A and B are shown apart, each in its own frame.
Chain A
């Protein structure tokens, strides 16, 4: 289930299940949307991105969906593995001449064996 408040929102799933992590973004002018994974003690690691003129993009075991109407982004992870346990951040590239990535609130994915 999910919990919010003083703690990081958490999604707990069983190993082998599919995971869906959601994110709301704020800037209608953003041209790229990105998902990053951050493991404990490490910097964020790029997972997948999607351009604003697309609504779906697939990678290896991951799919990103973009709904511009409601400013919503989701990351689907197929067959979740213990190694997927981490904090996941969505980010939006604000546009303009330089990459300006603004991160959203993270979600802690906890994979139960």
Chain B
């Protein structure tokens, strides 16, 4: 199984709503990532978890709150978002640890978020 599964595929929310994006992988990867991608732009790194601990936060606003409940799951909790936060949110995973440094991330198909 070489898949990263993201749910939901589409989400529409108001600025006062609280919602969550979910990501799951069963490849035994110990690093998981959240990226944000606007139309016609490259993915922008948001968060990296390594062995279930947050290792990188790219100065993301606190209205985005990541969570890694276990090595297979990654969540992104959303609260009080702005319309400019509308984007495709991509989850990825990779091997981690000594000898695993390359650049091969496995991406899901993304959750397309629209904030009204």
Interface residues in chain A, defined as those with a beta carbon under 8 Å from any beta carbon in chain B: 7-8, 31-34, 41-46, 49, 89, 91-93, 97-106
Contacts and interface: CB of A to CB of B under 8 A. Distances in A.
Interface string B45-57: 1001010000110
A46 B45 contact: no
B101 A31 contact: yes
B92 A43 contact: yes
A31 B102 CA distance: 8
Contact of B103 (A7, A42, A46, A98): A46
Nearest to B88: A43
Given A98-B31, A102-B45, A44 B90 contact: yes
B83 interface: no
Interface string B91-116: 01010100001111111111000000
Closest 9 CB pairs of A and B: A43-B107, A34-B103, A103-B42, A49-B103, A32-B103, A98-B55, A46-B104, A8-B40, A93-B103
A43 B56 contact: no
B8 interface: no
Given A7-B40, A103-B43, A98 B48 contact: yes
Given A8-B40, A99-B102, 16 more contacts: A31-B101, A33-B103, A43-B90, A43-B92, A43-B107, A43-B108, A43-B109, A44-B107, A46-B105, A89-B43, A92-B103, A99-B103, A101-B45, A101-B103, A102-B45, A106-B42
